[in-house]
Amino acid sequence: MVDTRPSEVAADMGWLAGERARYEKLLDSMTGLPRWTLLIDRTAVALARARRNGRDVAVFVLEYPHFPTGPYDARRVAEVLQSRLRPDDTLARIGPRRFAVVCNDIGQDEDAATVAHRLVYGSGLECGLGVALSGDLDPPELVISRALVAALQVDPFTSA
């Protein structure tokens, strides 16, 4: 028999609300992709791995100024971008029109320029792209912020 005492139901509802808030903090509700908190964590893991293996990590930020709105469009762009990545790379949605990609082991199988080309020309939408390569002791927030600043400085839509 199900216990429906008000105090038990309220406790269950409070727990569910907490779980939902935790989910929404970590994952984008439209795409299921990581958000900022999880992106920073995944970047930290990638940087630690790169330091052990003597490789680099590249962080890309793709800014879509004329991004179509709506959940279907965000999911579609996420699917297209994800299909252009390797299994160990991370795709995150960090804004309504902004995605970030963390690529492990840059320089081993391919370089950052190859990945950038695949991302920009693979989505079917024009975008600004910022790229940052990891330094020896860079914290994840610094690498991500350098890519973000670079993306915001690019305006591919100012042609005459």
Whole-model pTM: value is 0.79
Phi, then psi, of 119 in degrees rounded to 5: -70, -50
CATH no., domain 27-153: 3.30.70.270
Take residue 89 and report the two structure tokens written for it.
Answer: 């790379």
Q: How many CA atoms lie within 13 A of 60 on its CB side?
A: 25
φ, ψ for residue 158 (rounded to 5)? -105, 35
- Count of all residues that appear for the chain in the document: 160
Closest C-alpha among 139, 65, 72 to residue 95 = 65
Domain assignments of the chain as residue spans, ordered by start: 27-153
Q: What is the pLDDT of residue 45?
A: 95
Q: Is 13 exposed, middle or buried (0-12, 13-18, 19+ CB in 10 A)?
A: exposed
pLDDT in tens, the chain (160 residues): 555 566 555 555 554 555 555 556 688 988 999 999 999 999 999 999 988 888 899 999 998 877 766 666 888 889 989 999 999 999 999 998 899 999 988 875 578 888 888 888 866 778 889 999 987 788 999 999 999 999 888 765 544 3
